[in-house]
Amino acid sequence: MALARRLRLGGGNDLAIDLGTANTLVYVRGHGIAVSEPSVVAQHTESGRVLSVGDEAKRMIGRTPATITASRPLRHGVIADLEVTEEMLRQFIGRVHRGRITHPRVVMCVPSGLTEVELSAVQEACLSAGALEVHLIDEPIAAAVGAGLDISAPTGRMVVDIGGGTSEVATISMGAMVVQRSLRTAGYDFDDALIGWLRRHHGLIVGQPTAEALKVEIGSATPQAPGREGEVRGRDAVSGLPRALRISSEEVREALREAVQMIVDAVRGALEQTPPELAGDIADTGILMAGGSSLLAGFPERLTQETGIPAWLADSPLTCVAEGAGRSLEGLRGLNRKARVSRRYSATSPYRRPTTAADRAAQAGHRE
Ligand SMILES: Nc1ncnc2c1ncn2[C@@H]1O[C@H](COP(=O)(O)OP(=O)(O)OP(=O)(O)O)[C@@H](O)[C@H]1O
Ligand SMILES: [Mg+2]
């Protein structure tokens, strides 16, 4: 009875969540994106009590005393710490509903390369955070919808989503993925490559936020004219004292070269696997780039050079996955849950099989 009452609360409750390695976005049906914050949690080290999440916690990374830990509960798009992820989601959902106790239906975006166990963890985290029902949508599909592509047509489309922890490459036709590649190399690996480079070539130790800022400021995937310089501050590896260094954009590009090449190779591999008719379509329609790391200067040009196919950036690369998943919420209209579940779970459906709080309760009962 209680479940039915909650369902009757209607569409205003429905959410789409892009739970990313770097950022989590929450889209509220009928309103748009209501939360866009870093996927970071600050906890009391001993008790594990969560002190803050999102922007406030991110500012603490690398700056906490021993009693506080600021960390990211996801690694390469996969939940590494289930309890902390649940708490983070609970707080983000709570911000949307401003303290009202509601149990939303949620569409969660997931990287296409997750295993069944990893997918279950996403569902579990979302249900434990208060969701009544969880539907999963593959990120490349959501990115394509969010960028405004009509993916229902029998036409090949290629999407490349380069985030913080994963890069996803997919060929899509008639609403489904025909070819997909998921690579655990993305923005944080660019940061790691820069950290390693600065230590090896300049004896300078820097943290991830500093490396990320340098990458965003002067990093690139193709030579940029004119070349630029950036300043980076860290600790001298030998003396242990603070030191500043000026570094050129050419050198930063060299530091990122290997990681960028891995993503380019994955795109080429996916194109080689794509059936010829669809590959022909993609040569016409181009490659859509989404995700924060596709904003690395010269990335679309680099993909275009290496594949011979024009690559273009989504209008809003950081939000288009959440926007696309949000648009798919419209498909959740109507409260005949049983009918909807069976209709969604078809070969051409954008959704995977949904999980509900009731399913989980039944499973738990079965285990006992
Ligand atoms: N202008 C920019 N240039 C280069 N990189 C950028 C830029 N803006 C953001 N990024 C990078 O984008 C990444 C975050 O992108 P995004 O929010 O799409 O990731 P995510 O969805 O949280 O991660 P994932 O999908 O891999 O789980 C970070 O690594 C960040 O450094
Ligand atoms: Mg993402």
Last residue in a domain, options 314, 338, 359: 314
From first CA to last CA, the distance across the chain in angstroms is 24
Ligand closest in space to the Cα of 263:
1
On whether both 176 and 298 belong to a single domain, the answer is yes
Whole-prediction pTM value?
0.89
Ligand closest in space to the Cα of 296:
1
As for ligand 1, residues whose beta carbon falls within 6 Å of it are: 20-23, 77, 163-166, 186-188, 212, 215-216, 219, 291-293, 295-296, 318
Number of domains in the chain: 2
Distances (CA, A) of 345 to 16, 150, 316, 367: 18, 20, 29, 25
On whether both 307 and 325 belong to a single domain, the answer is no
CA-215 nearest atom, ligand 1: 4
Q: List residues, by chain if needed, whose CB lies under 5 Å from ion ligand 2.
A: 20, 163
Residue 250's domain comprises 152-314
> Which pLDDT belongs to residue 61?
87
Residue 218 burial class via C-beta count within 10 angstroms: exposed 0-12, middle 13-18, buried 19 and up: buried
On whether both 79 and 228 belong to a single domain, the answer is no
240 C-alpha to center of ligand 1: Å?
Answer: 31
pLDDT tens, position by position, 117-130 = 999 999 999 999 98
Identify the CATH number of the domain in which residue 49 sits: 3.30.420.40
Q: Which residues of the chain have pLDDT under 50?
A: 1-10, 334-350, 353, 366-368
On whether both 202 and 299 belong to a single domain, the answer is yes
Q: Whose CA is nearest to atom 9 of ligand 1?
A: 292
Question: Distance (Å, rounded) from C-alpha 216 to C-alpha 139?
Answer: 23
pLDDT tens, position by position, 296-350 = 999 999 999 999 999 999 999 999 999 999 998 877 654 333 323 322 333 344 4
> Which pLDDT belongs to residue 344?
31
On whether both 294 and 337 belong to a single domain, the answer is no
- Tokens encoding 344: 């969604």
On whether both 29 and 164 belong to a single domain, the answer is no
> Which pLDDT belongs to residue 239?
97
Pairing of β 50-53 and β 105-110:
unpaired
On whether both 333 and 280 belong to a single domain, the answer is no
On whether both 243 and 166 belong to a single domain, the answer is yes
On whether both 310 and 324 belong to a single domain, the answer is no
Helix axes 249-273, 299-307, angle to 10 degrees: 50
> Which pLDDT belongs to residue 103?
83
> Which pLDDT belongs to residue 91?
93
- Are 168 and 140 contacting, i.e. CB atoms less than 8 angstroms apart? yes
Best mutation site among 25, 295, 301 for ligand 1, i.e. most ligand atoms within 8 A of its Cβ? 295
Question: Distance (Å, rounded) from C-alpha 368 to C-alpha 366?
Answer: 6
Question: Distance (Å, rounded) from C-alpha 216 to C-alpha 252?
Answer: 10
Q: Whose CA is nearest to atom 15 of ligand 1?
A: 292
Last residue in a domain, options 314, 344, 359: 314
On whether both 10 and 48 belong to a single domain, the answer is yes
Distances (CA, A) of 329 to 123, 130, 320: 17, 18, 14
On whether both 63 and 170 belong to a single domain, the answer is no
Last residue in a domain, options 314, 332, 351: 314
- Tokens encoding 258: 């290997």
> Which pLDDT belongs to residue 113?
85
On whether both 297 and 164 belong to a single domain, the answer is yes
75 C-alpha to center of ligand 1: Å?
Answer: 13
